[in-house]
Structure 1
Amino acid sequence: MTGTQPEVTLRFMAAPTDAGLTGTVDGGRVLEWIDKSGYACAAGWSGTYCVTAYVGNIKFAQPVRVGDIVEVQSRLVYTGRTSMHIVTTVASGDPRTGELTVATQCLSVFVAVDTTGKPTPVPGFEPVDEWEREQHEIARQRIDLRHDIEESIAGQVYSDAGTAPRTVLRFLAAPTDINWGGKVHGGTVMRWIDDAAHVVASGWHGGPTIAAYAGGVRFYRPLLIGDLVEVEARLLHTGTTSMHLGLHVRSGDPKTGEMNLTTHCMIVFVALDDEHRKVPVREWEPVSDEDTALDDHAQYVIGVRERLRRHVPTVPPASRATTR
């Protein structure tokens, strides 16, 4: 029945194939888990196919190790007319002890769609415990902040006038990339984003790097099998140990070459030494007016992110699904 399944928990072992170049689980893989768990929660509540609209404020608090038991819990905390705001918590730990520690937590927004692909109403959600009431209010407050970030990201110009390090990955969307609705998984797109950002960050640092934060992941339109995909990553700003990158995903028909913006976001990588400790990264200085504008934009988003940090991730209580 719709409106009766407000949560989903996935449990599995982190496999060697999930590892990145640092030996721990790749950030893109964690993003993929978040999207799949969130989708299952949204579909269970709405009773229909759902699309990822937004994922924000993803801070990687600690790495997930290969061989860890992983628990990805998604809980509905707020609904709009057609949207579902879902908090997903990823925790992991040694399966021999069963003790899990939160690796990351974020808020995703999914939209329910009908058989024609148009948004369709979802059952309303009312929080029933203290944690849900707190998260319900946080989700409501973040709506305006999210719009601020989206408008700031969408208003930036990325052209050949920029001199910052960048890369573009190009490939075709494969049948193995899609979900049961025939569209490419949002988590797969986020994994591509992480891959492109890693190329630029590691190239600039000249050593190992790891994803520390991702935000403002806005999905505009779906990707289909056979689409030509472009994932562009560009360095926007450097901090003491951090590199802030802007990402754009475009897709289109390879027969025409016409490309449309699919997704945009900002992601932060940190520089590491060979022992995987944070180290200073060389400073990047803007050269062109476009460089300066994008650097200012990155610092604006950093300020917005600081406003979100007062919301400390908390582990959801035990399942309350049976009380509804």
Structure 2
Amino acid sequence: MRLSEIEHAHVGGQKSVVLRFLAAPMDANVRGYVGGGKILEWIDKAGYAAAAAWSGHYSVTGYVGNIHLHRVVNVGDMVEVEARVVYTGRTSLQVVCTVTSHNPRDDVRVTNTQCLLVFVAMDADGKPTPVPPFTPEDDWEREENERAQMLTAVRREVEEAMAVQVYSDATETCRETLRFLAAPTDVNWGGKVHGGYVMHWIMTAGKLVAERWFHGHARATYAGGFRFYRPMYIGDIVEVDARLIYTDGSEMHVSVWVRSGDPRRTELQTTTHCTIVYTALGEDDHEVPVRPWVPRLPEDRALERHATDLIQIRSRLGRSQPHQY
């Protein structure tokens, strides 16, 4: 990432980090703007910096959730990604990341997204290690601290709902599977595959399914429940399996599983799972309805019910707009 400035706003147990840079042409997707996958890469990097600064340890991404993608980033925009620690457990840290951008020529700033990330601090032996406790100091921090504790219970409910679902080949839905080797350029600071890159792969596979179903342009508007189960290593074979599970008006809900493993072996293990909502857009960039997905097979019907269950669970989160400082 091309960083023009990194700010640490709290000396000795730094609790916030700001990354500032220009969105470059190579950051754009095939539609010409910077999409959700690249934005999630930036979020993960800023979140890691805040978690590592506060804990004093290498930290791994455990969860990223409730990501409402309000606006895209344009090439040439000045981007600011602020990550702030809002809650700590014994070995975990919860970080709120806010992405804003503006055209340097007019300085009209917009908020692109805001989300919560969970990191776990690791010691030199790769085991979870205690972190300094965080105490909120202002109204914004106190509200986010309370919200982080509330979201822990909701997150557990989402994870339990995801864990009991079956994803096999007994499906008729629109489905795409990407396969490739994790490359040395995908490495993070701990020598493993960067969580932000994994989320980018997920968004790419999900977008492929949504646009195949719609036969047109689809933009990610919500992503939630990125659960990281185990690390992925350079040289692993990676399988990103995306399938449509629910449609509603202009929305397409896509479930994505990521599995990886040593290419010399046959078994792949689940590393990440999430659900993404894409919105169908017409030529004028306005929302348009998509043809409904009507499941017939038992597994497909079960996944449709799962999608509606997740909608109900997430409705209790109570916030779709960013919490301004």
Aligned to 1:320: none
Aligned to 1:298: 307
Q: CA RMSD in A?
A: 1.3
1:126 to 119, 123, 135: 135
2:18 to 9, 23, 30: 9
Name structure 2 gaps, 5 residues minimum: 1-9
1:234 aligns with 2:234: no
Mean CA deviation greater in 108-117 or 306-315: 306-315
Shift of 1:2: 9.1
Q: Residues of 1 paired with 2:238 and 2:283: CA distance?
A: 33
1:88 aligns with 2:113: no
Aligned to 1:68: 77
Shift of 1:163: 1.5
Q: Residues of 2 paired with 1:274 and 1:14: CA distance?
A: 24
Shift of 1:284: 0.4
Shift of 1:264: 0.3
What amino acid is aligned across from residue 38 of structure 1 in structure 2? G
What amino acid is aligned across from residue 263 of structure 2 in structure 1? P
Q: Residues of 1 paired with 2:282 and 2:177: CA distance?
A: 26
Encode CA deviations 1:128-147: one digit per residue, 9 max, x unaligned: 00000000000000000000
Q: Residues of 1 paired with 2:232 and 2:70: CA distance?
A: 30
Q: Residues of 1 paired with 2:162 and 2:255: CA distance?
A: 8
Name structure 1 gaps, 5 residues minimum: 317-324
Identity %: 56
1:18 aligns with 2:27: yes
1:54 to 57, 63, 76: 63
Shift of 1:101: 1.2
Q: Residues of 2 paired with 1:119 and 1:151: CA distance?
A: 23
What amino acid is aligned across from residue 237 of structure 2 in structure 1? L
Aligned to 1:250: 259
Aligned to 1:190: 199
Shift of 1:154: 1.5
Aligned to 2:149: 140
What amino acid is aligned across from residue 132 of structure 1 in structure 2? E
Shift of 1:3: 5.9
Q: SS state of the match for residue 118, structure 1? A: coil
Q: What is the TM-score normalised by the length of structure 2?
A: 0.95
Shift of 1:307: 1.6
Alignment of 1:263-282 (within 5 A): 263-282=272-291
Aligned to 1:179: 188
1:262 to 256, 271, 280: 271
What amino acid is aligned across from residue 165 of structure 2 in structure 1? Q
What amino acid is aligned across from residue 220 of structure 2 in structure 1? A
Aligned to 2:48: 39
Q: SS state of the match for residue 311, structure 2? A: helix
Encode CA deviations 1:161-205: one digit per residue, 9 max, x unaligned: 121111110000000001121011110000000010011100000
Shift of 1:159: 0.9
Q: Residues of 1 paired with 2:197 and 2:12: CA distance?
A: 27
